Structure 1
């Protein structure tokens, strides 16, 4: 059985020697983040900062700091997830007939959230300024929530079945935000909240938003999972957490996790944006100040003994590297079903994940041709660039499985050697100009605008690559 809340997770990690308490006073302004990053680089434990300068709430860092610890957190439920994948079970179909699903897989009951009428998170309220004011880098525009679980529901189809839970950073101080009353909500393109926001704008109504912080660790992972459209993150959180997610209504009409540590509750103003940022981001440079939606804060709830989980990002690898590796372990086997002909994909963490995507596809269009060349690979490349967050790739390199059946995408040097031996630079570069690109990519002509390139190679080796420098 998974953790009911963050408190039980902390206790378990401490018992198993995977968490260290830090009693010395440290400032959330730069100091806490610097310690967390150094401990991450050393492969160290989770960190509980018990004495945060000027703040009553302890902070938890490096919770997902190693892939081994991330696996440990979900050790009781990973076999269930693996069984779902092996049986090619679609959770969306299981949700339609939960009774029948229980016969085939008893854990399917965890897909359904459970409504409760009381919760520890409702016990107390505070204000934005009393929350930990995490500033990770010197030029950050203010304090940020870096592990938020941002919850919205479809305005036209309310309810958890049409909900979205995503990790979109929240700026809670600085810039032109009204203290205690406003926060910046930075969501990038290709995020589920955008669909709900568009519906609210079309209706001329504010979009109701609850920002969860802490609670069961499965909720944090669910917020970053690239789930298929129509699959609620709350359901995945229940499956990964090994229990039904208990939800309690908030005053703004949206539910919140009964076991959350904090909930910031409010609405997105339909008529206003304000500058958000800068923010030292996971590509290794600052994302700049841009206009983003404004969250009008109505309540800030917290449970007794609440703990504030956080991460800091920067030049990779960082803690979010473990997220990426864990997500790949959970979802990698599904790629051939989602993208026919594509054998595997690998978003390269050292490049910042989204900018560089490697893929192995299939080249079967003309199997009788004397010389193989990219044809089906191009179809598959366009399918990849049209699939969810894979569409944010800027450089997509794709090889044909038929040329090297044992080619391994995680052997990056070997993959590039294979490609550079075969690519024809006259015909194998395919540019897509004036298209949408990652919000954090500043190589384009404007925010969210720029170009991409596909490098596809198939066939026999064209050249021998030198392996030594001359002289």
Structure 2
């Protein structure tokens, strides 16, 4: 696995998926506007080499298509993501082998675990230049201000590293950070995130929380940090499993934390108990500006970086955006894990057009009355991230959850709102969701769009239409005879007729 951002840039360039821009571009509004238009067209990743106000280049849109996300994982086809998910699911619930074949498979999994262990780099590239104390100056970094109503300049694609003050287990998350002064930043994280949990513990103990921010890492590490994993596991370990090789880490200079040794830039600091400062507003993934919130203040102690580092950036907004492409890939990886944790679930999908987490479509093998509600409740509880999913639509496993035509048919044909809709009021909710009556507290809805069985129905349902396989096969064989070769032998292209914009954009990225 390549762990270096520069190697990934070289890969994209070799495959014609990177454009270097030498014209001067302003990081305030202009750079993000250019990147947004290119991304919407399914265009290449960009490196702006002449950013006004900073000597350092900015890389953006590197993960702007599903295809490039797959490459970042060291793969070539999206289908390989689910196979990776199957390996991860096996590791989460290892079972004693009962047959020789299972023993061989377990041996392979254990080898994956051994290879995934992080390693230490004693001469890390990320510390080729070290600036401490008064020498720290955020104004030297090419921070972006993407939207005209934004409250300041931001870091949006850095790995934020903290450590549980009780257990010592690190957490790695991707959170937005706002510049407050030359040596201070605020961090915006939701209350369920690992960093927020660590801060609550540290403040209860009266201790500062140490923080390190790694900017400009290989995108695979960003994917690992964005993966919903159990609290007790390390994102470094998951990154090693993703890449088939342990992450090389370096100990920070002024805080007791470890960061990827090949990071382009590392910011080191502390959050002191009770220190907060106004953060925002900022354009967010909901398609609106978020509000102004008092957020934890990081006091920076050091900045280390490689010689002539590249600043890796992104920005949020209404899909399609890079974060939506990441979510599509994570959906494929996490499907086997979800099947394992909720056996009722056969498939699930988080549509990009529903912000990649606000609406989930779940397919189950319907066996008994009430099963759809049970599956929806289990989904909301399986991971903290899914507590922010407003709508869960449960369908039969015969429905393709990635085809909106089939899902809409199931909702329209199989749902009686007075029987099949479950609404839960006043549950903890996403503070960025302005549709809620009260910020941070909202409702959620489950829709049972499955075929009704047993006591769920009081009359016979109609029999579903369908043709036998023999008839369909005969028609396929006669297609040329019927003079229809130019129409095609198969059903309409699922990319254009049902699988959503994300696949269409992925296809555009390959043209």
Q: TM-score, normalised by structure 2?
A: 0.81
Tell me if 1:306 matches 2:306.
no
What stretches of structure 1 move > 4 A for 4+ residues in a row?
76-81, 91-94, 100-105, 460-464
Are the counterparts in 2 of residues 76 and 242 from structure 1 also a CA contact under 8 Å?
A: no
1:433 aligns with 2:422: no
Residue 352 of structure 2 corresponds to residue 352 of structure 1:
no
**Corresponding residue for 2:492?**
none
Moved more, 106-115 or 65-74: 106-115
Change (3 A) 1:49 1:102: farther
Quote the Cα distance in structure 1 between the aligned partners of 2:392 and 2:238.
29
- Distance (whole Å) between structure 1 residues aligned to residue 414 and residue 172 of structure 2: 43
SS at match of 1:156: coil
2: CA distance between counterparts of 1:359 and 1:140? Answer: 36
Kindly indicate whether the alpha-carbon contact (under 8 Å) linking 1:357 and 1:396 is maintained by their aligned counterparts in 2.
yes
Aligned to 1:259: 262
The superposition leaves residues 130-154 of structure 1 with CA deviations (integer Å, 9 ceiling, x where unpaired) of: 1112011000110111111111111
Displacement after TM superposition at 1:15 (Å): 2.0
- Counterpart-to-counterpart distance in 2, 1:77 and 1:243: 18
Note if 1:131 corresponds to 2:141: yes
Q: How does 1:306-385 map to 2 (within 5 A)?
A: 306-366=309-369, 375-385=370-380
**1:34 positional shift:** 0.8
Report the alpha carbon displacement of residue 81 of structure 1 after superposing the two structures with TM: 7.8
1:163 equivalent in structure 2 = 170
Aligned with 1:147: secondary structure? Answer: coil
Query: Is this contact kept in 1: 2:24–2:50, CA < 8 A?
Result: yes
- Tell me if structure 2 keeps the 8 A contact 1:166–1:224: yes
Structure 1 residues 462 and 390: CA distance shift in structure 2, 3 A: farther
Q: Which residue of 1 aligns with 2:405?
A: 413
| Distance in 1 (alpha carbons) for counterparts of 2:109 and 2:425 | 48
Q: Does the residue aligned with 2:304 lie in a helix, a strand or coil?
A: strand
SS at match of 1:209: strand
Residue 53 (1) aligns with residue 52 (2): yes
CA contact (8 A) 2:328 2:350 kept: no
Q: What is residue 369 of structure 1 aligned with on the other side?
A: none
- Of 107, 111, 116, which aligns to 1:111? 116
Alignment: residue pair count: 438
Secondary structure of residue in 2 paired with 1:183? strand
The SS at the match of 1:385 is: helix
Give the distance between the partners of 2:402 and 2:214, measured in 1 at CA. 34
Deviations 1:14-43 (A, max 9, x none): 122221110000011111101111111111
Given that 1:344 and 1:360 are in contact with CA atoms closer than 8 Å, whether structure 2 keeps it comes out as yes
- Would the aligned equivalents of 2:410 and 2:450 in 1 still touch at CA under 8 Å? no
C-alpha offsets along residues 433-455 of structure 1, whole Å, 9 cap, x if unaligned? Answer: 11111121112243311111222
Distance 1:154 1:86, change over 3 A: closer
1:272, CA displacement in angstroms? 1.8
The SS at the match of 1:390 is: helix
Residue pair 1:362, 1:377 contacting (<8 A) in 2 also: no
- In structure 2, do the counterparts of structure 1 residues 383 and 91 end up closer, same or farther at CA, with 3 Å as the change threshold? closer
- Give the CA deviation at 1:103: 6.0
1:391 pairs, out of 381, 387, 392, with 387
User: In structure 2, what is the Cα distance between the partners aligned to 1:359 and 1:462?
Assistant: 23
TM-score (norm 1): 0.87
Structure 2 CA distance, aligned partners of 1:283 and 1:7? Answer: 31
Shift of 1:87: 8.0
Which residue of structure 1 lines up, in the alignment, with residue 83 of structure 2?
Answer: 82
Structure 2 segments unaligned to the other structure (5+ residues): 96-104, 453-460, 465-511
CA contact (8 A) 1:111 1:236 kept: yes
- Check 1:118–1:38 CA distance in 2 against 1; reply closer, same or farther (3 A cut): same
CA deviations on 1:236-274 (whole Å, 9 max, x unpaired) are 112223332111211111112211111111112211222
Query: Helix, strand or coil: the match of 2:345?
Result: coil
Alignment match, 1:10: 9
1:35 aligns with 2:34: yes
Q: 1:102 to 1:24 in 2, by over 3 A?
A: farther
Q: 2:291 matched to 1:296?
A: no
Q: Which deviates more from structure 2 when the two are superposed, residues 74-83 or residues 409-418?
A: 74-83
Per-residue deviation, 1:157: 1.8
| CA–CA distance in structure 2, aligned partners of residues 321 and 71 of structure 1 | 14
2:68 is the alignment partner of 1:69:
yes
> How large is the RMSD of aligned CA atoms in angstroms?
2.4
Q: Does 2:451 align with 1:459?
A: yes
Please list the CA deviations of residues 196-252 of structure 1 after superposition, one character each: whole Å capped at 9, or x if unmatched. 122112211111111111122221111111122322110111222333211121111
Task: Report SS of the residue matched to 1:280.
Answer: coil
Asked if structure 2 preserves the Cα contact closer than 8 Å seen for 1:155 and 1:200, the reply is yes
Helix, strand or coil at the partner of 1:287: coil
